[in-house]
Amino acid sequence: MAEGPPALELDSVSVRRSGRTIWHDASVAVAPGTFTAVVGPNGAGKTTLLKLLLGLMEPASGSVRVLGEPPRRGNPRIGYVPQRRSLDVDVPVRGVDLVGLGVDGHRWGFQVPGARRHDHRVRVNRALDEVGARPLSRRRVGRLSGGEQQRVLLAQALAGDPDLLLLDEPLASLDVRNQVVMAHLVNRVVRERGVSALMVTHDINPILGVIDAVVYIAQERVVAGAPSEIVSTPTLSAIYGAQVEVLRDSHGHVFVVGLDQEAAHPHDH
């Protein structure tokens, strides 16, 4: 495991939005060099956590630290993979162009001096190779499949050599095979680079075998710990204030019994 300050640290953090409390007095820390899942029902504040770490919003109270520092917009130490959106097939942006934005997006479209241009190309190609996306680099991003687009977006996030990866629902709309491929790609990056990764996901099962920790957000609470500790009958029952059963099948897949469909969503489909 990597040394250094926590990848993220919340100290007595409360978050309010439109007059409604999203979290209340949340205090958690995630160790550096770990692959962490962020799960919970819709509206609980999973994407809110990413916005706090990206410096896009501030808590109502308490303090947030990311990689030992206060959050700030445009932090070059963070690589961000946003929720995937449909791209027009005719938009003339190739995979290599998109990944290049991860190196120096503010200069995209302008000539880069020779030495810097060489470094740019090396970093882009390294990121493409790391996720197996070099064959996709000359194709228009809008014509790639969902799984292929996610590879390119991950390469873009890696091209800036970040210390922390934030991934917002990268498994959404992917078939089971591509979910597993994406999970193992991120896991390999974490182990080989020694970076930290936080992945927001509705379904923990595709990544349950590779993650180190879980941040669970529900009922205005944020808790964190090992998967076996957090995704468990005692912990979820305490969070929801009702008896919840966490079941595992012969393949290790998690099913939650005793919650309504919305609250159980992160685990049961």
If you write DSSP's letter for every residue of 37-88 in order, what string do you get?
Answer: EEE-STTSSHHHHHHHHTTSS--SEEEEEETTB---TT-TTEEEEPPP----
Instruction: Single out the residue of 59, 38, 7, 21 nearest to residue 231, CA to CA.
Output: 38
Strand ranges (E), 85-191:
164-168
**pLDDT, tens digit, 9 for 90 and up, residues 156-196:** 999 999 999 999 999 998 999 999 999 999 999 999 999 99
pTM above 0.85, yes or no: yes
pLDDT for 105 equals: 55
Q: At what angle do helices 114-130 and 146-159 cross, to 10 degrees?
A: 130
Instruction: Single out the residue of 153, 165, 257, 198 nearest to residue 49, CA to CA.
Output: 198
Q: How many CB atoms lie within 10 A of CB 38?
A: 29
Strand order in the sheet with 164-168: 78-81, 164-168, 196-200, 35-39, 213-218, 221-225
**pLDDT, tens digit, 9 for 90 and up, residues 231-243:** 999 998 998 888 8
- CA dist 94 and 156 (Å) reads 12
Q: CA angle, 145 as apex, 199 and 195 as ends, to 5°?
A: 30
How does 136-152 read in b/e, with b if 16+ C-beta sit within 10 Å? bbeebbeebeebbbbbb
Asked if 235 contacts 41 with a C-beta cutoff of 8 angstroms, the reply is no
pLDDT for 163 equals: 96
pLDDT for 93 equals: 86
Per-block mean pLDDT, blocks of 10 residues, the chain (269 long): 87 94 95 96 92 96 97 94 78 87 60 64 91 90 90 93 96 91 95 96 90 94 94 90 85 75 45
**pLDDT, tens digit, 9 for 90 and up, residues 117-127:** 778 889 999 99
Asked if 247 contacts 241 with a C-beta cutoff of 8 angstroms, the reply is no
Quote the tokens at residue 2.
């990597």
